[in-house]
Amino acid sequence: MKTLKFAVLPGDGIGPEVMDVAIDILQAAGQRFGFALEYETADIGGIAIDHHGEAFPESTKAVCDTADAILFGSVGGPKWESLPPKEQPERAALLPIRKAYSLYANVRPGLLYGELTDASPLKTERIPEGIDIVCIRELTGGIYFGQPKATTTLENGESQAVDTMVYKTSEIERIAQVAIDTARSRGGRVCSVDKANVLETSVLWRKVVTEYFAKHAPEIELSHMYVDNAAMQLARDPNQFDVLFTENMFGDILSDEMGVICGSLGMLASASLGATNNQLGHPYGLYEPSGGTAPDIAGLGIANPCAQILSAALMLRYSFGEEEAAQAIEKAVRDTVTGGVRTGDIAFGLDTVDTKTMGAAVLRSL
Ligand code: NAD
C-alpha cells in the first residue's frame, strides 16, 4: 500500500482545531482510496517561540526535511504581537519556510459555490453561477525578498526606507509554467497581471511571459492587465478570469480580494509548490488555509474546518498524485456545505460552524 509521508504543522489559534478534522478526513480518504498516512506533528509559529525560543526551529525543519509535503495550519496571534517585527511568527516562520523549500508557486483557488452566492459581498446577478477562478502568485521573489531592504537615517536626520523589487527571467519562466499547467487543467485562459506602464520588473515580466507562452503553450489564451485594473475587474466581473497570474506583492493583494468576493476565508485553501520534487516525483509543497489564526474565535470549537480540509485535498493532488481522492474530498465538502445551507443545518463560512459537527458531516459525505 502506498504511504503518504507528510509533516503536520498546526500552528496557533484555530490551527490545531481545524487540523484535527483535516487529518480525520485524510484517514478516511486513505481507507477508501487505498493509501496509508505517515505523519509527524511539529511546532511552528507562536507555539514554537514558546516551546523552542524561535518560530521555525531546527527540530521542525528536520521533520519537514524528511517529509514529502507539509500540511500547515496558520501562525500568529496577540500573544506574540509585542515581539520585534523580525521575530513575529508570520515573518519568522512563513518567510523562512518558503525560502527553505523554494516554495515559489502559490496556487489559490477562488471558489464560491453557485448555491452560496449570497455569501459574497458582490451582487448575486454579477455571479449567478458562483465564482470559479485560480490565482497563481509568485512567492519567493519580488519586493518581499529583494535586497537592499533597509531603513537608514539621512544626513538631515530624517529616516528613509527602501525595499527592492527584483525578478530574473528564470524566476518568471518557472512560474509561467505553473500558470500554463493550471490553465490546461481548466478553461485554457491566463490573464497575466503587472504594472508594465511604470515598473521595470513588470516590463521584463510581460516580455518573458509573452515569449514563454508563445513558445511553450500557444494554445493557451494569454492576456495582460495592469494590476489597478485587475483589482477593479475582480470586483466587477470575477468570472471574466480563468487563471489570474502575477508576481508576489500584486498576488498577495489580489488573492485576498479574491478571498473576500468568494464569501468566506473559512472555505479557501492554498498550495505553495516547491522547486524540487519529493521522493514520489511530485512537487514538494506546503498546504494551508488562506485565512489566519482567527484569535477572536480560537478555542471555541466554531472555526470552519473546510479551508484546512480543502488544503489537505490540494496536498493529495499536487504532492501525492492522488487526484481521485482529492476530487472526492472536494465533492464531500461541497455536498456538505451546500446541503447544510439548503436544510439550514449548518451555518456557513465566517458565520462560524460547529467544527466537529461539520467535520463529521464531511466524513459522512466522503
Ligand atoms: P484571520 O484570517 O485570522 O481572521 C479574520 C476574520 O476571519 C476573523 O473574524 C476570523 O474569526 C475569521 N476567520 C478566519 N478563518 C476562519 C475560519 N476558518 N472559520 C471561521 N472564521 C474564520 O486574520 P487576522 O485577524 O488578520 O489575523 C489573525 C492572526 O493570524 C494574526 O496574528 C495574523 O498575523 C495571522 N495570520 C496568519 C496567516 C498564516 O499563518 N498564513 C495568514 C493571515 C493571518
Structural contact between residues 139 and 104, judged by C-beta atoms closer than 8 angstroms: yes
Q: Is 195 a catalytic residue?
A: yes
Q: Is 65 a catalytic residue?
A: no
34 and 52 inside one domain: yes
182 and 253 inside one domain: yes
131 and 209 inside one domain: yes
Residues with a CB atom less than 6 Å from ligand 1? 14, 74-77, 90, 94, 265-266, 288, 291-297, 303-304, 307, 350, 352
303 CA distance to ligand 1 middle (Å): 10
Judged on CB neighbours under 10 Å (0-12, 13-18, 19+), 279 is exposed
94 and 188 inside one domain: no
Residue 84: CB atoms within 10 A of its CB come to: 8
4 CA distance to ligand 1 middle (Å): 28
Name which residue sits closest to atom 18 of ligand 1, judged by CA.
266
205 and 298 inside one domain: no
Final residue in a domain of this structure, among 200, 229, 261: 261
158 CA distance to ligand 1 middle (Å): 35
Out of 65, 118, 228, 351, the active site residue is 228
Bridge partners of 150, per DSSP, are 162
Q: Is 287 a catalytic residue?
A: no
| Atom number of ligand 1 nearest to Cα 352 | 20
178 and 293 inside one domain: no
Final residue in a domain of this structure, among 261, 296, 312: 261
Name which residue sits closest to atom 36 of ligand 1, judged by CA.
292
Out of 195, 212, 284, 287, the active site residue is 195
Q: Which helix (H) or strand (E) holds 36?
A: strand 35-41
Out of 252, 335, 354, 356, the active site residue is 252
127 and 256 inside one domain: yes
14 CA distance to ligand 1 middle (Å): 9
- Strand, coil or helix: what is 254? helix
134 and 160 inside one domain: yes
141 and 245 inside one domain: yes
308 and 237 inside one domain: no
Name which residue sits closest to atom 25 of ligand 1, judged by CA.
294
137 and 256 inside one domain: yes
Identify how many contiguous H helices and E strands the chain contains and give both numbers: 12, 12
| Atom number of ligand 1 nearest to Cα 80 | 32
Final residue in a domain of this structure, among 233, 261, 289: 261
79, 87, 293, 362, best to mutate for ligand 1 pocket (most atoms within 8 Å of CB): 293
**Where in the sequence is the domain holding 157, given as residue range(s)?**
121-261
Per-residue pLDDT of the chain (366 residues; tens, 9 = 90+): 899 999 999 999 999 999 999 999 999 999 999 999 999 999 999 999 999 999 999 999 999 999 999 999 999 999 999 999 889 998 899 989 998 999 999 999 999 998 888 889 999 999 999 999 999 999 999 999 999 999 999 999 999 999 999 999 999 999 999 999 999 999 999 999 999 999 999 999 999 999 999 999 999 999 999 999 999 999 999 999 999 999 999 999 999 899 889 987 788 999 999 999 999 999 999 999 988 999 999 999 999 999 999 999 999 999 999 999 999 999 999 988 887 655 554 444 556 678 998 899 899 999
CATH of the domain at 34: 3.40.718.10
Q: What is the pLDDT of residue 341?
A: 56
Q: What is the pLDDT of residue 351?
A: 60
Structural contact between residues 42 and 93, judged by C-beta atoms closer than 8 angstroms: no
Q: What is the pLDDT of residue 347?
A: 47
Tally of domains in the chain:
2
Cα dist from 227 to 1, 131, 248, 249, 263, whole Å: 47, 20, 12, 10, 22
Which backbone phi and psi does 146 adopt, to 5 degrees? -60, 145
The cell numbers describing 151, all together, are 531603513
Q: What is the pLDDT of residue 182?
A: 95
218 and 238 inside one domain: yes
| Atom number of ligand 1 nearest to Cα 291 | 2
Out of 181, 256, 335, 354, the active site residue is 256
